[in-house]
C-alpha cells in the first residue's frame, strides 16, 4: 500500500513539474519571441533600405519578419504531427490581425484613409489567397495545388511592387491596365513612405537580424511546445490552442505596431501590412509545410476559422473601398467580428 502511495505521489510530482516547465516555456518563449521579433523587423527594414527596396517591398519585408513567431510556431506544430494546431496558428492569426491591426487601428486613429486603387490591388491578392486557403483547408484542393495558386499570384504581386515603372510599361499588356497598376503602386508607395521609411542599414544590422531570427525561432518553438502541453493537460481543443491562444500571442508584435502607427497618424500603412502579413502566413506557414508534411484533416473548427478569415477580409475590403477608408465604427465592427469568431469556435470545440 505504501509503495503504491509513494508511486502515486512520485507520478503526481513529475506531472506537476512537467506542467510547470510547460508554463515557463510558454511564458518565457512568448516574451522573448515578441521582444526579439521587434528587433528583427527593424533590422531587416534597415537592410532593405540599404539595398534600395521600395516602400511597398519594405512593408512586405516587415510583415514577413513580424510573422516569424506564428510561422515558426506553425511549422513546429506541423512537424510534431499536430496539424490542427499548426493550421490554427496561421489562420487564426490572420483573423486576429484583421481585428488588431485594422479594427483597433481604426478605433485608435478615428479614420484610416485609403486610396481605392490600393484597396483593389492589395485586396485582389488577399482574396485570392483567402479563397485558396479555404479550399485547401476544406480539402477541395491539395496543398501542392494551393501553394501553386497562392504562390504564383503573390510572387506576381511582389514583382509588380518591385519592378521599375519603365519596365512595367514595356510589358505586352493593355496600356490602360498598366497605367492603372502603376497608379495603384504609386499610391501605395505614397501611403507607406512616411510610415515605414527606416534609416539606412549597416553591416551590423544584417548580423543582428540573423541573431534575432535564430532567437525568434527557438523561443517560438518553446512557446508552441509549452502551449500544446498545457492545452492537452487541461483538455483544451487543438483548434482553440492554435486558432485563439497561439494565434493571438504570436500576432501581438503586429498589433503593437499598428496601434503605434495609428497613434502617429500613419495608420494607412496598416492595410498593406495586414494583408501582406496574412498572405505570407498562408503561403509560408501553412501551404509550404503542408506540401512536405501534410495538412490537418478537414474539420468544422478548421473550416470555421478559414471561413472567418475570408469573410472578415471581404468585409474589411468592401468597407474600405466604399468609404475610402475605415471609420471608428467600422473598426468596432471588425473587432466584433473577431469576438463572434472566437465565441463560435469555443462553442463548437
Phi and psi dihedrals of 61, rounded to 5? -65, -40
Cα 336 from chain centroid (whole Å): 19
Contacts of 165 (CB under 8 A, 6+ apart): 182, 185, 186
Query: What CATH number does the domain containing 253 carry?
Result: 1.20.1420.30
Which pairing describes strands 325-327 and 111-113: parallel, antiparallel, or unpaired? antiparallel
Structural domain that includes position 157: 2-348
SS3 111: strand
Count the alpha carbons within 13 Å of 139 in the hemisphere toward its beta carbon.
7
The reported pTM is 0.83
Count the domains in the chain.
1
- Average pLDDT per run of 10 along the chain, which is 349 residues long? 53 70 79 75 71 64 72 78 82 89 83 82 93 94 94 87 65 68 68 56 76 79 79 81 80 65 57 84 90 86 93 95 91 94 90
Q: How many other CB atoms are found less than 10 A from the CB of residue 71?
A: 25
Structure confidence at residue 7 (pLDDT) = 47
Q: Give the helix/strand (H/E) hosting 327.
A: strand 325-327
Under a CB-based contact definition with an 8 Å cutoff, are residues 278 and 99 in contact? no
Q: Which of 136, 135, 144 is nearest to 293 (CA)?
A: 144
What's the pLDDT at 330? 93
All three cell numbers of 258, joined, read 499598428
Amino acid at each position: 500500500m505504501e509503495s503504491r502511495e509513494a508511486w502515486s505521489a512520485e507520478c503526481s510530482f513529475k506531472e506537476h513539474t512537467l506542467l510547470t516547465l510547460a508554463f515557463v516555456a510558454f511564458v518565457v518563449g512568448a516574451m522573448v519571441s515578441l521582444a526579439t521579433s521587434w528587433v528583427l523587423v527593424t533590422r531587416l527594414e534597415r537592410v532593405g533600405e540599404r539595398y534600395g527596396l521600395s516602400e511597398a517591398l519594405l512593408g512586405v519585408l516587415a510583415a514577413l519578419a513580424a510573422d516569424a513567431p506564428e510561422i515558426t510556431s506553425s511549422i513546429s506544430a506541423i512537424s510534431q504531427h499536430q496539424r490542427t494546431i499548426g493550421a490554427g496558428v496561421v489562420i487564426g492569426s490572420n483573423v486576429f490581425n484583421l481585428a488588431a491591426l485594422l479594427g483597433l487601428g481604426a478605433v485608435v486613429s478615428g479614420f484610416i484613409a485609403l486610396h481605392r486603387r490600393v484597396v483593389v490591388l492589395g485586396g485582389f491578392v488577399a482574396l485570392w489567397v483567402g479563397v485558396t486557403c479555404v479550399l485547401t483547408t476544406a480539402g477541395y484542393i491539395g496543398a501542392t495545388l494551393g501553394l501553386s495558386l497562392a504562390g504564383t499570384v503573390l510572387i506576381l504581386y511582389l514583382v509588380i511592387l518591385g519592378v521599375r515603372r519603365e519596365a512595367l510599361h514595356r510589358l505586352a499588356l493593355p496600356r490602360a491596365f498598366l497605367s492603372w497598376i502603376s497608379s495603384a503602386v504609386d499610391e501605395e508607395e505614397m501611403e507607406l513612405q512616411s510610415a515605414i521609411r527606416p534609416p539606412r542599414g549597416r553591416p551590423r544590422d544584417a548580423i543582428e537580424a540573423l541573431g534575432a531570427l535564430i532567437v525568434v525561432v527557438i523561443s517560438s518553438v518553446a512557446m508552441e511546445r509549452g502551449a500544446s502541453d498545457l492545452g492537452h493537460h487541461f483538455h483544451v481543443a487543438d483548434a482553440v490552442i492554435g486558432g485563439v491562444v497561439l494565434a493571438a500571442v504570436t500576432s501581438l508584435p503586429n498589433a503593437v505596431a499598428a496601434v503605434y502607427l495609428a497613434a502617429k497618424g500613419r495608420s494607412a500603412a496598416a492595410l498593406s501590412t495586414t494583408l501582406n502579413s496574412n498572405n505570407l502566413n498562408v503561403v509560408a506557414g501553412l501551404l509550404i509545410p503542408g506540401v512536405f508534411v501534410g495538412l490537418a484533416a478537414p474539420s468544422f473548427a478548421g473550416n470555421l476559422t478559414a471561413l472567418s478569415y475570408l469573410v472578415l477580409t471581404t468585409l474589411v475590403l468592401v468597407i474600405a473601398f466604399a468609404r475610402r477608408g475605415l471609420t471608428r465604427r467600422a473598426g468596432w465592427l471588425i473587432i466584433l467580428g473577431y469576438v463572434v469568431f472566437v465565441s463560435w469556435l469555443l462553442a463548437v470545440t
